[in-house]
Structure 1
Amino acid sequence: MGFAGAAVVGVPLVATPLLARARAEGGLPLTVVNSTGRYPNSSIHMYITGYHPVTREMGYVTSPGTFTPASYADNGADGLDIAIPLAGEGATSFVLPMLDGGRVYFSIDGRLRFSVVDGGGRPMLQEPAGAVESDPNFGVLWDFWEFTYNPNGMHCNTTMVDMFSIPISTRLVGAGEHTAGKLTDGGRDAIFAEVARQPGYERLIIGDGLRVIAPGHGIVAGRFSPTYFDGYIAEMWNRYRGADLRVSNEFGGFTGRVQDDGRMHFDGGIGAFDRPSTMDVFMCNGTFSRPNDAGGKVAAALAAGFNRSVLDRPYQPVDDRAAFYQHPVTNHYSRILHNHSANGRVYGFPYDDIVGDASYIQDPAPREVTITLTPFAGGEASYPIAQPPPVAQATVAAGAVVGQVRLADQEIPAAGFDSGYGVRRESCSEGGENVCAVANGDWVAYRGVEFGDQPMTQFIVRVACGAELGLSGLVQVRLDSETSPPIGSIAVASTGGWQRWLTIPGNMSPVTGRHDVFLTFASGQPQEYLNVRWLRFAR
C-alpha cells in the first residue's frame, strides 16, 4: 500500500481485561458500536488524533491507550496509515489516552489518508477537509467526533460545525450518565433531503450523499453566497443605531449601541465590534474572535443571535428555542440539523452551545464512553421542532422572498407570498403576476415584514374585481397567524374587470417591529371576488 506508521489493531480486543487495565493506567475505555444498518464492521475504520496534554505535540493513537507523536518520517508514498479496523463483528473495544483537542474519525468503504506537515517548526497532522475538492479524502464517506480527556474529566461532542455525514451518538458514564447526538429515526436521509430543498443551500451537499458542508465552508468552496446574511446584518446594525442591545453573561450585563463610526460599542470595558460579514457570522470569527472572557461571551451571544436570526430581540442571549431560525434569512443548515436531533441539541455552528443548545457533554470522573454509528435510515423528535411558519395546505411561491428582508413601506408583490391557501397566480396586465381566484376563507402569508420602530397605521392594496354587481368581500390584515384577530380591513367590490386595477387604502392598528403578515379574505358568498397585485404599509 505504500503506507508508513505505527501498526494498527487488527483483532478484536477482550473487553473485561481491557477495561481494568485502562482504568489502572489512566486511560478511558472506549466502545464503538456499528448500528448504521447499511455497512458491515469490515467496511468501517477508526482514526484517533489529538495533542499530548503536557508536551503539546500533535499525534495519533493506533494501539489502545498509547499516544504516538507525529514525525516527518511517518510519511509514506501514500501518506500515513493510522487506521484502526473495527472488530470482526459486534462492538469494538479500545482505550483512549488523555488528549487535548482529540478527534475520533470514522470512514466507510474507504480509508482516510493523513500526512505530516510542518506546523510552525513542529510536525503536525494534515487532517481531512470535507469541503476541499483537492483533498485526497474528498470522495470518501467520513465524519468525526471531538473530545478533550484530561485530569479535569472528559469533555466531548458530536460536532456538525464543519459538516455532517455519518450520524454519531455518544454515551458517557462517570459521576453521572450523559448522552448526546442521537438523531430522529431516518434523520440522516431527512437532513440531506431537507437541505436539498432549501433554496441556496442545495450545493452544500457533496457527492451522492457523502456529506453536507456548513455554509461558511461552502463560501470558501464557492458553493454558497458570501453575501447571504448581509441584508439581515445591515438591518440589525441600523436597528441598534437608535436602540440599546443588552447582553448578559456570568460576568454581568453589558449595553451596546452602534455609534457614528459604524461599530457597535459596549460599556463595561467590552469595547467595540466591527460590522460583521456573512462569513464572520457563519464561522463565528472575524469581529467575533475574542478571548474567552466577558468580551468573548458578548461576542458569542452576538454571533449566536445572528445565526439563529433572533438579534432583533433587545435582550441577548435569547433562550426561547421556539424563536430560533424563524426569519427567512437564517442558518438553515443549523436549523435542519436541530430539527432532526432527537433532543433538539446539535453543534450546528461554533457558538451553538450558547444557552445549552449544543450536543456537548462532560463528566469530571469518567469511567467509560460509547460511540455509536447510528442508523442512516427510519420516527419522530421528542421535543418541539422549530420551523419557519407552517405551509400546511400551502403552495410555496417561486417568487417568494428568501434571503432578504421585506420592508413594510415598499410594495410587496402579492404573488410572492411564502404560503397560501385557496389562491392561484396568473399573468398580470401590469407585468409579472398577481394573486387571483380569491374567495371566502382563502389567505396568503408574507414572512418577515419589517415595520420599523415608528408605528405604521395604514395598509394599501392594489386590487381588481370583475365579479358581478352585488358580490363583495373584505381584505383583512393579520399578524403572525391566519387566525389572529384582524388589525385592519378593506371592503372591495367590482372595479370593472379582473385586470382593471385600483389602489385602495385602509386604516389599521399601529404596528412596529417585524411580523409575518397574513392577508385573509372574507365574503358572505362562495364565489371568487378578488385579484390582488401588491400590498404595502404606511404611517
Structure 2
Amino acid sequence: MHSGIRRSALPLAATTALVGGLLTLGTPESAGAAVPDTIALTVTNNSGRGEPLYIYDLGTRLSSGQQGWADANGTFHAWPAGGNPPTPAPDAAIPGPAAGQSTTIRIPKFSGRIYFSYGQKLVFRLATGGLVQPAVQNPGDPNRDILFNWSEYTLNDAGLWLNSTQVDMFSAPYAVGVKRADGSVSTTGHLKSGGYNGVLNALRGQAGGWGGLIQTRSDGTVLRALAPGYGLETGALPASVMDDYINRVWQKYAGSTLTVTPFGDQPNTKYYGRVSGGVMNFTDGSGAAVTSFQKPDADSVFGCHKLLDAPNDAVRGPISRTLCAGFNRSTLLTSETQPDNSPADFYRDAVTNHYARVVHGQMADGKAYAFAFDDVGNQESLVHDGGPQEAYLTLDPLG
C-alpha cells in the first residue's frame, strides 16, 4: 500500500504555484524487479485535433533533488539559474504525435509532471527559486489562451505512480495507464462518451456562479473549467459558497461526536471530534487532546489547506484529510463516522463541491482527482505498479 498522496505545488514548482498538484510517493506491498532508470511512455493522440501537439516532462530528479526537464530519450537537463523577474526557461518541448498517431518517449526517475499543449508551446519561466508554472487563473498568465493539461507522476525504485488530475482545472481530457510485468494494462481517466461537454454543461446549469469557472478564448473555444478554489480567487464563486454546510456541521458536532478512523488498515486508530467554543477538538482513545480545527471557510475546504492544513504527520494530517474529503463530498452530516467511503453518499447535499460532483459523474470509472485529498476512500484516478513495463498517456476528444 502506498503511503499516501502528498498535496503540494510539486517539488518542481517555485514561487507561483498552483494550489493543486498531487504527487504520489510510497512503497508498494510488493515491488517488482529493479525499476530501470527510464521507462517508455507512449502518448496516443486520439483528440481528433489538427494542431501541433507539444509534450513536456518536467520535475525533480530523485537521485539528486535537482529541478529540470527530460528530453524524449529520458535524459535529464537541469534548469539554469533563474532571475527576478523570472527569465525564460530553455525550450523543453518534445514534438507530440499527430492526430491518430502515437509517440513513445522515455521518462526518468522523476517526481513531476507530463504537460501537453495543443497549437502552441507553453511558456515556462525560471525564478530564483526554480520553475514558475502556468497559473491560468491569472488573466495575465502567458498560457491563459493555450489549450493544455498535465498528468503527474513519480517514478522511483519502488515503481510508478501516474495520475490524471483535475485538482487545479478540468481541461483537455486524457487517460493514464501502466503495463504490468504480466502484460496486463490498467487504465483510468477516460470520460464517458460526451463527458467533456457533460461537465461543462452541468457547471453552466448549476446556480450560484459555478458556470463562471469556465474559461474561454476570444474565438469562443472553451479552454478549461477552473477548480473552485480558483473560482473564489477570481470572484466567480462567492466566499460564502460553503458557509451553510460548514455552519451545519459545526452545529451538529457541538452536540454529538465525530469519529474519524483515518487509516483503512488501522481500524483501531480512532479520533473523536467535538465542537466547543467554536473549535473542533480531537482526542484519542485515552481522551488525550491531539489536535483542533478552527471552523474552516470555503477556501480551506476546496484547497484542503489553511484552516484544514494537513501536515505529513501521523495525526493532524490524516484527520484533516478525512475532514477535507467529508466537507467536499458533503458526508459529514449524514454519518458521524468518517471517512464515508461509499460514493452513493457523496455530493448529496445542495451545498457541496459541485465541480467535484460533476467531474466524478462524467468519468467512465467514476474515479478522479477533483480535489486534493480525493484519494480518501480510493476515489482517485491513479495507476500504480511496482515493476512498470510501460506507461501510457492517451489524449481524448473534447466533446
Which TM class, normalised by the smaller chain length?
0.7 to 0.9
Asked if structure 2 preserves the Cα contact closer than 8 Å seen for 1:248 and 1:254, the reply is yes
**In structure 2, distance between residues paired with 1:161 and 1:363:** 23
User: Are 1:154 and 2:160 an aligned pair?
Assistant: yes
**Shift of residue 62 of structure 1?**
2.3
- Tell me the C-alpha RMSD between the 2 structures: 2.0
Give the Cα separation in 2 of the matches to 1:48 and 1:146.
10
The change in CA–CA distance for 1:177 and 1:270 in structure 2 (over 3 A counts) is farther
SS at match of 2:377: helix
Cα 1:297–1:78, aligned 2, differ >3 Å: closer, same or farther? Answer: closer
Q: 1:132 aligns with which of 133, 138, 141?
A: 138
Counterpart of 2:92 in structure 1 is 82
Q: Do residues 118 (structure 1) and 128 (structure 2) align?
A: yes
Alignment partners' CA distance in 1, 2:350 and 2:252: 18
Q: Is the 8 A contact 2:175 2:189 kept in 1?
A: yes
Partners of 1:127 and 1:197 in 2: how far apart?
Answer: 31
User: Is residue 2:245 matched to residue 1:232?
Assistant: yes
Does residue 256 in structure 1 map to residue 265 in structure 2? no
Once the two structures are superposed, residues 459-501 of structure 1 have per-residue CA deviations (whole angstroms, 9 ceiling, x without a partner) of xxxxxxxxxxxxxxxxxxxxxxxxxxxxxxxxxxxxxxxxxxx
- 1:59 equivalent to 2:97? Answer no
> Are 1:36 and 2:42 an aligned pair?
no
Verify: 1:296 aligned to 2:317, yes or no: yes
Write the distance in 2 (CA, Å) between the matches of 1:197 and 1:248. 36
- Asked if 1 retains the 8 angstrom alpha-carbon contact of 2:53 and 2:97, the reply is no
Report what 1:205 is aligned to: 214
Per-residue CA shift, 1:291-328, capped at 9, x if unaligned? 23232111111111100111112010012211111111
The percentage of aligned residue pairs carrying the same residue is: 33
Tell whether 2:109 aligns with 1:98.
Answer: yes
Contact preservation (8 Å) 2:79, 2:90: no
Question: Does residue 340 of structure 1 match 2:340?
Answer: no
Aligned residues: 347
User: Aligned AA for 1:376?
Assistant: L
CA offset at residue 67 of structure 1?
1.2
The aligned amino acid for 2:175 is S
Match of 1:215 in 2: 228
List gaps (5 residues or longer) in structure 1: 1-22, 378-539
Q: Please say if residues 186 and 375 of structure 1, whose CA atoms lie closer than 8 Å, have aligned partners that are also in contact.
A: no
| CA separation of 1:32 and 1:50: change in aligned 2, threshold 3 A | same
CA distance in structure 1 between the aligned counterparts of 2:180 and 2:345, rounded to whole angstroms: 34
The corresponding residue for 2:204 is 196
Question: Structure 1 residue aligned with 2:256, among 237, 243, 251?
Answer: 243
Tell me: higher relative CO, structure 1 or 2? Use CA pairs within 8 A at least 6 residues apart.
Answer: 2
Distance 1:31 1:239 in 2: 50
CA positional deviation for 1:109 = 1.4
Q: Looking at CA atoms only, which structure, 1 or 2, has the larger radius of gyration?
A: 1
* Alpha-carbon distance in 1 for matches of 2:214, 2:343: 26
Distance 2:36 2:271 in 1: 47
The CA deviation at 1:367 is: 1.0
Structure 1 position 277 matched with structure 2 position 297: yes
Q: Which amino acid aligns with 2:297?
A: S
Q: Quick one: distance in 2 between partners of 1:32 and 1:244?
A: 49
The TM-score with structure 1 as length reference comes to: 0.62
Structure 2 distance, partners of 1:152, 1:345, is 24
Cα-to-partner distance string for 1:327-384 (whole Å, 9 max, x where unaligned): 111000000000100010101100111101110221111110010001222xxxxxxx
- The equivalences for 1:303-382 within 5 A come to 303-312=324-333, 313-377=335-399
Q: For the residues of structure 2 that align with 1:276 and 1:186, how far apart are their CA atoms? A: 36
Contact kept, 8 Å, 1:31 with 1:371, in 2: the verdict is yes
Cα distance in structure 2, aligned partners of 1:310 and 1:277: 17
Partner Cα distance (2:341, 2:298) in 1: 23
Once the two structures are superposed, what CA deviation does each residue of 1:426-451 show, in whole Å capped at 9, x if it has no partner?
Answer: xxxxxxxxxxxxxxxxxxxxxxxxxx
Gaps of 5+ in 2: 1-33
**Structure ranking higher in strand proportion:** 1
Name the structure 1 match of 2:149: 143
Q: Give the C-alpha shift of residue 140 in structure 1.
A: 0.5
1:371 counterpart SS class? strand
Shift of 1:25: 5.5
Distance in 2 of aligned mates of 1:338 and 1:113 = 30
User: Is residue 289–residue 299 contact of structure 1 (8 Å, CA) maintained in 2?
Assistant: yes
Measured after TM superposition, the shift of residue 150 of structure 1 is: 0.6
| Counterparts of residues 44-55 of structure 1 (less than 5 Å) | 44-55=53-64
Counterpart CA distance in 1 for 2:328 and 2:301 is 6
Please tell me whether the aligned partners of residues 86 and 127 of structure 2 are also in contact (alpha carbons under 8 angstroms). no
